[in-house]
Amino acid sequence: MIKIYHNNRCSKSRCALTVLEDSGKEFEVINYLETVPAVDELRAIVGKLGITPHELVRKSEAVYIEKYKGKDLSDEEWIAAMVENPILIERPILVSDDLAVIARPSEKIYELL
């Protein structure tokens, strides 16, 4: 089953959700701002994406600019920062089995479908 880490206020996330709905595939919506991924879950997502935790951080968010910009944090510290401030997590993220994609641009969804 596909999981989408979703923020309804984000147009890219809403677009990804529409693509999933139209695909006919079974999926689960996780509003990650309310149901924050645990450290292990976020670590697994980063691994499936094949990126570093810092690459998953939204650098345009106010909390990033105020608290983290210019800081040299370890991977575990970035994961902890995203768990503490889930708005920092890039979106939307789609996860299926051993593969995950950040659906920016939205065409990346098809890599998972």
- What type of residue is 69? K
Both structure tokens of 91: 């979106």
**15 an active-site residue?**
no
Cα–Cα distance between 42 and 104 in angstroms, integer? 18
Interstrand relation of 27-31 and 2-6 (parallel, antiparallel or unpaired): parallel
Radius of gyration of the chain (CA): 14
Selected catalytic residue, list 10, 33, 44, 80: 10
Catalytic residues: 10
